[in-house]
Amino acid sequence: MAKNWKTKLIHSDAKIPEGFRSLNVGVQRASTVLFPDAASVKDTWDQYETGYTYGLYGTPTVLELAARICELEGGFRTLVTPGGQGAITLINFAFLKAGDHVLLPESVYTPSRKFAAQVLKRFGVEPEFYPPDAGAAIGQRFRPNTRLVWCESPGSITMEVQDVPAIAQAAHRAGALVALDNTWSAGVYFDAFAHGVDISMQALTKYVGGHSDLLLGSITVRDEQAWRRLGSTHQLVGCAASPDDCSLALRGMKTLAVRLKAIAEAGLTLARWLAERAEIERVLHPALPSCPGHEFWKRDFTGSAGLFSFVFQPRFSKEQVQRFVDRLGLFKIGYSWAGVTSLAVAYDFHATQGRPAYGHRLVRLNIGLEDVEDLKADLEQALGKM
Ligand SMILES: Cc1ncc(COP(=O)(O)O)c(C=O)c1O
């Protein structure tokens, strides 16, 4: 059929060579997915079962990333979300209903805490915050309607490592599910499923992305039942991950092992160096005995990441701590972490927030890929100017 040029813009007959092969996963962007005939049309979210149906449930680029995360974490299946916080909220939507009780550690990522305290509460779910060091003692907090227990290990900013197996045992005895924010371990230094977790999420924004240029999350589940619940909720919540971002994350995965190794070594070197400084009261690095729950890190983790905090001696004022951060040159000031650039943020934590009373004296560092001696020199000159 002869076509008008305007039709050719949409239905082209142009030919290119076939047989292209490269080392990279292609970027497949799509909302519409084509069916071979009218009878084949269906709107099923589980594309593992039926083949591709709609871009919302993932193009091959998105599913490739999901499958590779699942392979690393050793789960049943993984779903990719537009961000880490999106993964947290989707887990809550999928596994909770009005009238349920949910447990979260006091050390949980603040937006996760706020989602529970504000949004879940509005939907009739009751959140309760427990001390991150609860371990088996969490058993006392279960009620007949406790449906889900969150863990985050180590906790955000204050870095408490949790006894996840003890919490999981208590949860399963009470018939509750365990969800873990496994971002710090990059999904590789802590085997969530071997330690009793049912749902493991990561902010892929962090170590998997690794370059501070994307936002993605992942949810990996232990079994098919959880997969059905999650997938059917994801379909209706409608939060699709961008194939472009997934392609960047797939590139990030290729260098994850070498980045983690370099970052872990530099992080430990700097944490140990800071622990010797007279200005510092305490270093909160899971691999050091001064970190709460260090014994669980030693027992359960196979490595450490480059994110840790430290607490200045009580004699330092808030202004002095902020001046320290401002005087850093290589360490930049900003949220998020796990990129190649070192970062520093000062926090003000009081016991009223359910956190240890470090007050204004806490600084969190993200260690990047700069030379470790240069980073040490930067910290040293800034300490000298306090
Ligand atoms: C431990 C942890 N979980 C989840 C998130 C949320 O990830 P995202 O920024 O991709 O929404 C963050 C972000 O800082 C985080 O630190």
pLDDT digits (tens, 9 = 90+) for 202-223: 999 999 999 999 999 999 999 9
User: Maximum Cα–Cα distance for the chain, whole Å?
Assistant: 84
Percent of the chain with pLDDT over 70: 99
Report how far ligand 1's centroid is from the alpha carbon of 15 (Å). Answer: 45
Cα distance between residue 273 and residue 134, in whole Å: 30
For residue 79, give the nearest of 296, 239, 295, 299 by alpha carbon.
239
Q: Which of 80, 91, 114, 156 to mutate to test the pocket of ligand 1 (most atoms within 8 A of CB)?
A: 156
Model confidence at 292: pLDDT above 70: yes
Model confidence at 352: pLDDT above 70: no
Q: What is the mean pLDDT of residues 48-66?
A: 97
Query: How many other C-beta atoms can be found within 10 angstroms of the C-beta atom of residue 207?
Result: 27
pLDDT at 318: 97
Ligand 1 atom 4, closest CA: 84
- The residues facing 179 across adjacent strands are 150, 199
**Ligand 1 atom, smallest distance to 206 CA:** 10
Which pTM does this prediction carry? 0.97
pLDDT at 18: 96
pLDDT at 321: 98
Q: Is the CB of 210 under 6 A from ligand 1?
A: no
Ligand 1 atom 9, closest CA: 84
CA dihedral of residues 363, 367, 373, 378 (deg, nearest 10):
-40
Q: What is the mean pLDDT of the chain?
A: 97
pLDDT at 350: 82
Q: Is residue 134 within 8 Å of 104, Cβ to Cβ?
A: no
Report how far ligand 1's centroid is from the alpha carbon of 40 (Å). Answer: 39
Report how far ligand 1's centroid is from the alpha carbon of 176 (Å). Answer: 24
Residue 1's pLDDT band (cuts 50, 70, 90)? confident
> What's the token pair of residue 369?
């890929």
Residue 96: exposure state from Cβ atoms within 10 A (0-12, 13-18, ≥19): buried
Q: Give Cα separations from 299 to 181, 235, 287 (angstroms).
A: 18, 38, 11
**Ligand 1 atom, smallest distance to 88 CA:** 4
pLDDT digits (tens, 9 = 90+) for 240-273: 999 999 999 999 999 999 999 999 999 999 999 9
Residue 353's pLDDT band (cuts 50, 70, 90)? low
pLDDT digits (tens, 9 = 90+) for 164-181: 999 999 999 999 999 999
Ramachandran angles phi, psi of 219, nearest 5°: -130, 120
Q: Is residue 183 within 8 Å of 84, Cβ to Cβ?
A: yes
Q: Is the CB of 156 under 6 A from ligand 1?
A: yes
pLDDT digits (tens, 9 = 90+) for 88-110: 999 999 999 999 999 999 999 99
Q: Is the CB of 336 under 6 A from ligand 1?
A: yes
Model confidence at 355: pLDDT above 90: no
Q: Is the CB of 217 under 6 A from ligand 1?
A: yes
